[in-house]
Structure 1
C-alpha cells in the first residue's frame, strides 16, 4: 500500500489571538472544534504559540497526557505543583507527564536580580500532547539539552517510549508506540524520514521539499499514513523540522 500524504498549510490552522497570545493549532483545541480533525496517530495537540513578554499561561491543570514543549525563540518559565521549575530555551526539550494530575504555569516573565525583566521579547514555542499508553501514572518531569546533537544536522531523537530508542540519549515518554525527532537541516541537504504507520511532520522554520508532497514552508505540516522513508531536502536557508514517529493511533471506540 502506497503512502498517503496529507499536506496542511500554515494558514489553514485554527487561530487563537489574544492580547498576549498568538496561537495556531494543528488539531481541534479549546473553542476550535472540528470532529474530522481531532488527532493524527497518537498526537492530539500540536500548538504553535507566541507569548508576549511579561505574560503567559497561569496555573492550570492537566491529567493523563504526555506533554512535550520545544522552544524556537526566547525563554519559557515553567513551574508545577511537583516542585519543578526552570527556563526552557531553544535546544532544550521538556516533557511533563500529567498522570494522575498536575498543575503548572508557563510564562514569559522571568526577572533579573536588579528587578528588570529578563525576557523582553516574545517567546515562540511548539507544544505537543500525545496520549499515554497507561492512565493514572505518577506525574513526572524531564528535560534534555540537545544543542550539540542538533549541530550535526541529522535527526535527533528528543523523546521516545519505543523500546528501540532505550539506548539513545532522549527523554522518556509513557507511550511505547511514539517518538519525537527533530533536525536542523542545513541548506540544500537531504534527510530521510522514518518508516512507520503514522508520521507527522512539522516545518518549524525555514523551507523544504518533501518527496511526494512538494514544497513546504514555515508552519506547514504533513500527515503521512504508511510512511516509507520519504526524503526531505532543506531550502536555501535550511529548515528546522519536527517529526513524530507513531506505530499506533488513538482508539476510536
Structure 2
C-alpha cells in the first residue's frame, strides 16, 4: 500500500476577511468521504487569524483538541474557568469530554498562525480537561503529546503520540515512532527531502509497517509534526 499523500494545494480552503484556513481533512461545510481523517486523527487545520479576531464561544464534546502555536498569540477562555494566552512555541491540549464551551481570539497586534488538531478519544463521556505548556525545541524530536505524559509531553485520552522537530537543511533524523503503528507527517514550514519530497502544508500518511528509517530536511530546513497513531 503506497503512502497517502495530501498535497498542500489540494486541501480544503476556507477564506474569510479575518481567517485563512486550510483543512487537511473534511471539516465544516467541506466534505469528501475519501478525506474523513487518518485513523483517530480527524482534523488538521492550518489557520491564520487576523489581529483582534477569532472564534467566539462555541461548544465541543468527545474530542481531544490540540493547538500548536506557530506565530503570534491566541487568547483562550472556556467554561472550565480558564483564561489563558497561548504564545508561539506553546501547545494547548483540551479534552472536550462531556462538553466544553470555549473561545479562541487573536489578542495580538499582528496575524497569528496555528495548527489545530482533533483526535478521537478512546472512550466518550470523560470529564473535560485543559492543559498548556511551552516546549523548547531542542535538537531532534521534541515529544508534545503522549498517553502516559512521558518525557515532558502532555497526556491524551488515546494511544497517540505527537512530536515536533525543527531540522536544519540536509540534516537527517532517525524515525522515533513505532513501526507497528500508522503515522502521519505534517509539514509546518520548509520541506523534507526524504522519505519523499514534501513542502509546507503537505501531509503524508503511512500505514503500520511502512515507517522509514529516518527523515531528511530539504534545502531550506523543515519544521514538522509527526503523529504515531494506534
What is the TM-score normalised by the length of structure 1? 0.86
CA change 1:167–1:53 in 2 (3 A) is: closer
Q: Which residue number in structure 1 is paired with residue 224 of structure 2? A: 241
Q: Structure 2 CA distance, aligned partners of 1:208 and 1:35? A: 28
Whether the 8 Å contact between 2:183 and 2:211 is mirrored in structure 1 is no
The superposition leaves residues 13-42 of structure 1 with CA deviations (integer Å, 9 ceiling, x where unpaired) of: 000001110000000000000111101011
Answer with 1 or 2: which has the greater Rg: 1
Question: Secondary structure of the residue that 1:11 maps to in structure 2?
Answer: helix
Q: Which residue number in structure 1 is paired with residue 139 of structure 2? A: 153
Whether the 8 Å contact between 2:122 and 2:157 is mirrored in structure 1 is yes
Deviation at 1:145, TM superposition (A): 1.2
Divergent runs of 4+, >4 A? none
| Counterpart check, 1:142 vs 2:131 | yes
Q: Which residue of the other structure, out of 96, 104, 116, is the alignment partner of 1:127?
A: 116
Alignment map for 1:9-48 (pairs within 5 Å): 9-48=7-46
| Between 187-196 and 16-25, the greater mean CA deviation after superposition | 187-196
Alignment map for 1:81-96 (pairs within 5 Å): 81-96=79-94
Whether the 8 Å contact between 1:144 and 1:170 is mirrored in structure 2 is no
Question: Secondary structure of the residue that 1:125 maps to in structure 2?
Answer: strand
Q: Which residue number in structure 2 is paired with residue 181 of structure 1? A: 163
| Counterpart check, 1:107 vs 2:105 | yes
Q: Which residue number in structure 1 is paired with residue 203 of structure 2? A: 221
The superposition leaves residues 89-129 of structure 1 with CA deviations (integer Å, 9 ceiling, x where unpaired) of: 122111000000000000012xxxxxxxxx12111000000
| Between 98-107 and 196-205, the greater mean CA deviation after superposition | 196-205
Deviation at 1:231, TM superposition (A): 1.9
Question: Secondary structure of the residue that 1:168 maps to in structure 2?
Answer: helix
Whether the 8 Å contact between 1:210 and 1:230 is mirrored in structure 2 is no
Query: Any gaps of 5 or more consecutive residues in structure 1?
Result: 110-118, 248-253
Deviation at 1:153, TM superposition (A): 2.3
Q: Structure 2 CA distance, aligned partners of 1:192 and 1:4? A: 21
CA change 1:229–1:196 in 2 (3 A) is: farther
Question: Secondary structure of the residue that 1:172 maps to in structure 2?
Answer: coil
Q: Which residue number in structure 2 is paired with residue 113 of structure 1? A: none
| Between 26-35 and 218-227, the greater mean CA deviation after superposition | 218-227
Q: Which residue number in structure 1 is paired with residue 182 of structure 2? A: 198
Query: Any gaps of 5 or more consecutive residues in structure 2?
Result: none
| Counterpart check, 1:207 vs 2:191 | yes
Question: Secondary structure of the residue that 2:151 maps to in structure 1?
Answer: coil
CA change 1:91–1:196 in 2 (3 A) is: farther
Q: Which residue number in structure 1 is paired with residue 96 of structure 2? A: 98
Deviation at 1:185, TM superposition (A): 1.0
Q: Structure 2 CA distance, aligned partners of 1:209 and 1:52? A: 32
Whether the 8 Å contact between 1:196 and 1:245 is mirrored in structure 2 is no
